[in-house]
Amino acid sequence: MELGNFGKHTILTGAGWSQNWGARLAADVWQLLMDNPAIAQRDRLRALLLEEDSFEAALAKVQNPPFTTDDLERFERALIEAFVSMDRAMTPDDFLSIPFTNRVQELLFRFAGRRDQGVDTGYLFTLNQDLFFERYLFNDHVYNAPAPSLPGIRITPGVSIFNSLTGPYSEQFIMCPITDTAVQSNLRGQTNVIKLHGSFNWRTPDARSLMVVGTEKTRQIAGVPLLAWYSDVLKAVLFSGDVRLMIVGYGFGDEYINATIAEAIESYGLKVFIWGRGSNLKDRILAAPHGSAIWKGLLSTVTQPMREVFPPSQEISEEYQRIRRVFVNDQTIW
């Protein structure tokens, strides 16, 4: 796999990342599903959600008897509508007025390096299925970084993402994977946004939603060539030697992701810098699958809210200086 010349620094974001812009954590997605008429009007689905406070566990059950195809379609439709609702919350009329957006753009493009420093490729990995990156990742020219791209995705003709995907969500936002992704997709020379679990606006050739949710993610990923390739890209990047990975807003609940990170730490010199909110961060990581191996690769942690690290004044905060100092082992490339 040709990874290009990237700067050995990358990022993995989870639901806690998008929460900064109004998205919901998994526990709060449950609320939107309970409110949806497609669920509320179906006693069996409503009873299931009353029993299961994890919408992913509920979805896993809907995929099997005694639930029907109609039940599954209703549940998936409600889930898509929940993401559309979150997308509205994430995109106010003047989204650039959110004080820390510019600083966050700067942070993200640092993972792609500067073209005048010989770095031509970047990788931004995310488990989120919202449109944060499509909505907010632009201004690459300001930071002299390679332009962002969704590798392996066929964009709707006439629609340009990362700089003009604005306005309310509509059918024009729907995208499909390119057939034979590994052959037809390029990674070098761009800032690659790798959506490991798909996206709520992606569709399969038979018009089904292309999102990995539920309790059998590994099996689902293996059945989708694009996502299987994305998983290979993650491994290739993390296994390339002495990489530093910033993990933001991830709850360490996906065993296969944790296993990849742990193997990279144990065998390929990966170091991790974890930015997570909430109490008992160490205990939560150690309790997760492969958590002890992940903790051994730790550089440091951040628990401050993003709005504090990137204050409205646009000043470089003391905490952001610490993050850069600890995370980056060569200040000349960042």
Tell me the per-residue pLDDT of 66-110, one tens digit each, with 9 for 90 and over: 999 999 999 999 999 999 999 998 886 665 556 677 888 889 999
SS3 94: coil
User: What per-residue confidence (pLDDT) applies to 332?
Assistant: 59
Whole-number Å distance between alpha carbons of 210 and 221: 10
185 backbone dihedrals φ, ψ, rounded to 5°: -110, 145
pTM of the full structure: 0.94
**174, amino acid identity:** I
Query: Which residues on neighbouring strands pair with residue 273, listed in sequence order?
Result: 246, 300
Token pair 């994430």: residue:
90
Query: Which residues on neighbouring strands pair with residue 193, listed in sequence order?
Result: 124
Whole-number Å distance between alpha carbons of 60 and 323: 39
Sign of CA dihedral 262, 17, 236, 110: negative
Burial class (CB in 10 A: 0-12, 13-18, 19+), 115: middle
Would you say 176 and 147 are in contact if contact means Cβ atoms under 8 Å apart? no
Mean pLDDT of 176-194: 83
Confidence of residue 171 (pLDDT cuts 50, 70, 90): confident
Summarize pLDDT for 93-104 with one digit per residue, the tens.
665 556 677 888
Confidence of residue 38 (pLDDT cuts 50, 70, 90): very high
DSSP-derived secondary structure for 258-273: HHHHHHHHHHH--EEE
Q: What is the mean pLDDT of the chain?
A: 89
Token pair 């800032």: residue:
191
Whole-number Å distance between alpha carbons of 226 and 231: 9
